[in-house]
Structure 1
Amino acid sequence: MNLLELDSMEERINLLSKTVKPFTERAAKHDENVSFPFENFHDLKEIGYPGLTLSKEYGGLGISLYEMLRHQEVIGKADGSTALGIGWHMGIMQHLSQNEIWDKEKFAAVAHDVRETGALLNNAASEPATGSPTRGGKPETFAIKDGTGWVINGRKTFTTLAPILSYFVVSASIDGTDDVGNFLIKREREGVRVEETWDSIAMRGTGSHDLVLENVHVEKDDLVEILSSGKKKPAGWLLHIPACYLGIAQAAQQAALEFATNYSPNSIKGTISELPNVKQKLGEMELSILEAKHFLYSVAKKWDESDEATRDTMGPELGAVKLSVVNKAVQVVDLAMRIVGARSLSKKNNLQLYYRDVRAGLHNPPMDDMTIMQLAEKSITEH
């Protein structure tokens, strides 16, 4: 069955939920071995998931941001690494489909590959010297014009999905100018190499290795975008990040509930779920998840229903969602571990995996300090 052939969001969520069930068991294996979950992406491709956010013009369904986040939450509950990885592809495809940023023919060719083969794409923007691109550093990756196109040299860090990407969208400084451009680079290009450097203790299955580019030649039209040096426009699709961590928080909540409703030490009658101190924590977890869901999805619906002028004002709001949801997700996992106790630190217990994975959200863009400054500026301006 294919998601693209189903008529309703509910049907699509049901099919996705069935597809991702094996991901949870696999997640522990890949975390242990620091290996990449190729089989998860095979399963997602089998149901047409990579093409879901493409507009109908390009063979997708053009689903809303709201629906995309619902799907990402489902995957995040099964495996955070897979959700975060595929979320970048899904969001970028949605963004490019809706905004016609690239040459139409160029994007249509990539979209066809995504639709027909499940090809995956992600941005490669972070570098050792610049850190996160959200901080404004200029790439030390350089593109130099030659007779038929461009020659690109550089190294990119945190290239999520590096083991499986068909396309890298690489930011590079353009030699002889002050411009920075995005270049579309196919994996098969000579001089493209992935160096397996990913040694994080969190999100170990994302394959976020270094991308090394050594005299990589691309065509003239592979310069797909000149990046603005001014203030970046708000990007609703980046809400795939909090959706992923909300999924992880719900996995932790489920683990805590299963433990609390089954564990019955001989010092009490019944299970520990009946103890006031455990009920307190379970209630706090539920409250945090309810608040996170309502904030995430109300802002997503606002984005879907707004015109461009309104969307251009939503930067602080989008940042606030990410900050709030991720921090609540961290709190939920912590509460779950307090309920389960020392057993939550066992390597056999998925809670220790959720604990490590959920903290990665604190280091995904936008950063909390930048969001707080944005919110301060918003309140001052409105005052």
Structure 2
Amino acid sequence: MTTTTADSRTATDWVARARAVGLTLRPEVAERDRTGELATAAFDLLRESGLSAALVPVEFGGGGATHTELGAALRELGRHDAATAVAFAMHTHLVATQVWRHHSGQDASALFGKVAAGAILVSTGAADWVGSSGRAVRVDGGYRVHARKGPASGCEAGTVLVTSFRWDEAPGGAQALHCAVPLGAPGVRIEQTWNTLGLRASGSHTVVLEDVFVPDAAISLARPADIWPPLLNVVIGAALPLVLAAYLGIADNAVEVATGLVRGRVEPHTVQLAGEMTNAHTTAADLIAAMFTASENLRFAATDAYAARTLSRKTVAADKLVQTVRLAIETVGGVGYSRECPLEMHYRDIHGVHFHPLPRAKQLRFTGRVALGGGPLG
């Protein structure tokens, strides 16, 4: 859906497009939750709708959506199909990081071109983080790499693995080598390892790389492996608002289901629980909106202080999202505990929010060190 604004620019209603995709996927969500099967066809719909390239600037063949607009689309998708929304958020946050680089005067045209042509990006960043993982061995013209990368959400539908490898034998000390590897490259395979409490259909399996050749030209960044890199400040600011938006969609639907089931009831305890649920939901939504505002449409200053504040908001918002769904179940009573009610699935799915970087204990140490004038790593 598109509309024409007063200055003759065409604006795309990305939320309407996400809703259309979500409504198409929704009838099979419960069955995929049971089987754990990723909706690979969903990514075809996301390509066809333009959502997979929505963040790519128009001049590079994309939709030119803002960070906030894409967040709203992920929130809408999360209302209908949480597993797909969270897996798709992994792709979008990688694109968002490249948009930040573009706004900062760095060349992101190669990746933009791939995404505009239909590539789906798969992230391994949460597993790699500062030190990276796997083993890179220097050979003529590049590296031979060996690694297990997981969880890698949406990998069965992906085309490009955005990852890093540890090169322990690098001159001057261990390095993390950042690169993109085609998921169809020789030596790359997917191992079905994702068997979890929630988000069962996110396809977050393990990508195994066995003696895969990565040419020098594919290395986008080589950095000291165990020192906090400014790149991760960028990733935190680009990624976390989008990821949290997908989870906010889960909470949105939980509130909608709960209020629909108890509408008109006047028992004091039900009214009070509904009020507590609303408070938690409002707090989470406001914190996530603040994250998008602070991102300045991917033009934020990628400082340690900015990352620390974003991570603080993430932890508090995550707690409030989980609390929202718990209170939704408590508000409706025993029916919310039944697998016949979508609240049961929402409660399992929403807990995934805690495991995105950084988990509470690590975030508190990160933010505390920065607040006291130290670096993120102690």
TM-score using structure 2 length = 0.87
Q: 1:356 maps to what in 2?
A: 348
Q: Deviations over 1:124-167 (max 9, x none)?
A: 246xxxxx444x4442x122232233211121120111111100
Equivalent of 1:208, from 204, 219, 225?
A: 204
User: Cα offset for 1:253?
Assistant: 0.7
- The answer to whether the aligner puts 1:98 opposite 2:91 as a matched pair is no
Residues 204, 168 of structure 1: CA spacing in aligned structure 2 closer, same or farther, 3 A cutoff? same
What secondary structure sits across from 2:212 in the alignment? strand
- The answer to whether the aligner puts 1:252 opposite 2:245 as a matched pair is no
Distance of 1:61 and 1:167 partners within structure 2: 20
Residues 39, 305 of structure 1: CA spacing in aligned structure 2 closer, same or farther, 3 A cutoff? closer
User: Cα offset for 1:355?
Assistant: 0.7
Distance of 1:183 and 1:15 partners within structure 2: 31
Residues 102, 200 of structure 1: CA spacing in aligned structure 2 closer, same or farther, 3 A cutoff? farther
Q: 1:147 maps to what in 2?
A: 140
User: Cα offset for 1:298?
Assistant: 2.3
Greater displacement, 319-328 / 173-182? 173-182
AA matched with 1:296: I
Stretches of structure 1 that go unaligned for 5 or more consecutive residues are 127-131, 262-270
Distance of 2:357 and 2:99 partners within structure 1: 22
Contact 2:199–2:349, Cα closer than 8 Å, also in 1 = yes
Contact 2:99–2:298, Cα closer than 8 Å, also in 1 = no
Contact 2:14–2:51, Cα closer than 8 Å, also in 1 = no
Distance of 1:308 and 1:294 partners within structure 2: 19
- The answer to whether the aligner puts 1:120 opposite 2:120 as a matched pair is yes
Matches within 5 A, 1:82-93: 82-93=84-95
Distance of 2:11 and 2:273 partners within structure 1: 36
Contact 1:96–1:102, Cα closer than 8 Å, also in 2 = no
Matches within 5 A, 1:207-356: 207-228=203-224, 229-233=226-230, 234=233, 235-238=236-239, 239-261=241-263, 271=264, 273-304=265-296, 308-309=300-301, 312-356=304-348
Greater displacement, 282-291 / 354-363? 282-291
Distance of 1:186 and 1:308 partners within structure 2: 30
Distance of 1:380 and 1:149 partners within structure 2: 41
Q: 2:112 maps to what in 1?
A: 111
Matches within 5 A, 1:50-65: 50-65=52-67
Contact 1:125–1:156, Cα closer than 8 Å, also in 2 = no
Distance of 2:345 and 2:251 partners within structure 1: 11
User: Cα offset for 1:361?
Assistant: 0.9
Contact 1:55–1:94, Cα closer than 8 Å, also in 2 = no
- The answer to whether the aligner puts 1:8 opposite 2:4 as a matched pair is no
User: Cα offset for 1:366?
Assistant: 1.2
What secondary structure sits across from 1:205 in the alignment? coil
Cα RMSD of the aligned pairs, angstroms, is 2.6
Distance of 2:36 and 2:212 partners within structure 1: 29
Residues 72, 194 of structure 1: CA spacing in aligned structure 2 closer, same or farther, 3 A cutoff? same
Work out the number of aligned pairs and report it.
Answer: 360
Stretches of structure 2 that go unaligned for 5 or more consecutive residues are none
What secondary structure sits across from 1:154 in the alignment? strand
User: Cα offset for 1:198?
Assistant: 0.7
Q: Deviations over 1:229-280 (max 9, x none)?
A: 432432312222221221111111111111112xxxxxxxxx5x22221111
Q: Deviations over 1:329-366 (max 9, x none)?
A: 11111111112222222222211110111111111111
Q: 2:158 maps to what in 1?
A: 165
Residues 306, 14 of structure 1: CA spacing in aligned structure 2 closer, same or farther, 3 A cutoff? closer
Distance of 2:302 and 2:94 partners within structure 1: 20
Q: 2:368 maps to what in 1?
A: 376
Residues 138, 49 of structure 1: CA spacing in aligned structure 2 closer, same or farther, 3 A cutoff? closer
